[in-house]
Amino acid sequence: MTLRLRTSARTVAISAALFTALVAFTTAPVAAQPLALDTVEFFSPAVDRTMKYNIVLPRGSDESTQRYPVLYLLHGLTQNYTAWGLSNGTPFYAGLYDDLIVVMPDAGNSWYVNWTAEASGQKNNWEDHIITDVINHVDWNFRTIARREGRAITGLSMGGYGAVTLGLRHPEMFISIGSTSGALEHARQIASRMRGESAPPQAPQLTAAEQAEREAQRRRPNPVIGIDGFSSQIERTPDGQEFPTAEAADTYDPFKIIATLDNDVLPHIYLDCGTEDRLIAGARELASILMERDVPFDYMQMGGGHNAAYWIQSLGRITAVQYEVMQRALGQRPSGQRRTSSN
């Protein structure tokens, strides 16, 4: 079931017209063919290593002089830059639009935070990696609309936390920010434990053999990632300190950040979560805050858990909503392209 909320500012869920358009795209007998998924390799000074991101470009963009809005999709914990493309249908949904670039960066298991340096000196400024290095590389190498009105960001789970937090820390960068199944309480929970207000989570009890197998899995490179020194889970997990103090954690807590921002500087916010997902409490709490402040936002919940079956459904709605927000901010009428088949 889809929950639809309203504020006096605007509808707080996907509009009926937008949803109808999405259904028409996905159920029409013809079809939008999935777009090509390209992988880009580049050097990121923020983390002092070669990194990758996947990108989906509009059809015909090679021959066009047009500039395009960009949707950034952030992956979840233990995932990587291939997650949105391989499992969740990004090339298909991006193919419903003639004028949208979708970028899927990689940030390892960093929670999209600037960590303290590792003992080895390895840099782990993952917020800067996304906000400065990835976005600049995309803007310098592709025909983007390189301003706030042409840029949106969203993510799943850890990436949902990252997208909302980075978007609130840099509201001048994005016209729309979003989260699907987001771990929005991540920084707040860490701050609470650091202040002695709550107990740390209990680690599962494993036998020696199970522990050895887990460690072997963490050290095993994933050939799909293909980044030297950054392809196993142990390599992809920073060895520094995420938050040195509870006060540092507060600066990455979206519930605290939003309290410091005036409504007129906030980007549009999109939230969704499955009703069987334990992380839904954070989404509902943030939605209630936005409701109280009369902030324009979109909220959707439906049956589902914390898994790809839910995310492949939510991505269609995310893309539709954030595409509409960017188009309207750019002074254009949203118009996804319905393509007919040529038998």
Residue 301: the pLDDT is 94
In this structure, which amino acid lies at residue 296?
P
Question: pLDDT tens digits, residue range 218-256?
Answer: 999 999 999 999 999 999 999 888 999 999 999 999 999
Evaluate whether residue 225 is within a structural domain: yes
CATH code for the domain in which residue 239 is found: 3.40.50.1820
Evaluate whether residue 271 is within a structural domain: yes
How many domains in the chain? 1
Evaluate whether residue 155 is within a structural domain: yes
Evaluate whether residue 218 is within a structural domain: yes
Residue 7: the pLDDT is 35
Evaluate whether residue 337 is within a structural domain: no
> Which neighbouring-strand residues pair with 53?
40, 105
Residue 244 is part of which domain span? 5-199+207-329
DSSP letter string over 131-164?
IIIIHHHHHHHS-B--SGGGEEEEEETHHHHHHH
Residue 336: the pLDDT is 57
CB 96 within 8 A of CB 336: yes
Burial of 167 (0-12, 13-18, 19+ CB in 10 A): buried
Which of 114, 143, 178 lies closest to 325 in space, CA to CA?
A: 178
pTM over 0.75: yes
Evaluate whether residue 168 is within a structural domain: yes
Q: What is the C-alpha separation between 215 and 166, in angstroms, rounded?
A: 31
pLDDT in tens, the chain (343 residues): 333 343 333 333 333 333 333 433 333 333 557 788 999 999 999 999 999 999 999 998 988 999 999 999 999 999 999 999 876 689 889 989 989 999 999 999 999 999 987 778 889 999 999 999 999 999 999 999 999 999 999 999 999 999 999 999 999 999 999 999 999 999 999 999 999 999 888 778 888 888 889 899 999 999 999 999 999 999 999 988 899 999 999 999 999 999 999 999 999 999 999 999 999 999 999 999 999 999 989 999 999 999 999 999 999 999 999 999 999 999 987 665 544 333 3
Evaluate whether residue 297 is within a structural domain: yes
Instruction: Region of 331 please: left (phi>0), alpha (psi -120 to 50) or beta.
Output: left
Residue 343: the pLDDT is 36
Q: Cα 243 vs. chain centroid, distance in angstroms?
A: 21
Buried-exposed string 12-37: b where 16+ CB fall within 10 A, e elsewhere = bbbeeebbebbeebeeeeeebeebeb
H-helix or E-strand spanning residue 324: helix 308-329
Evaluate whether residue 335 is within a structural domain: no
Q: What is the C-alpha separation between 68 and 44, in angstroms, rounded?
A: 23
Residue 334: the pLDDT is 66
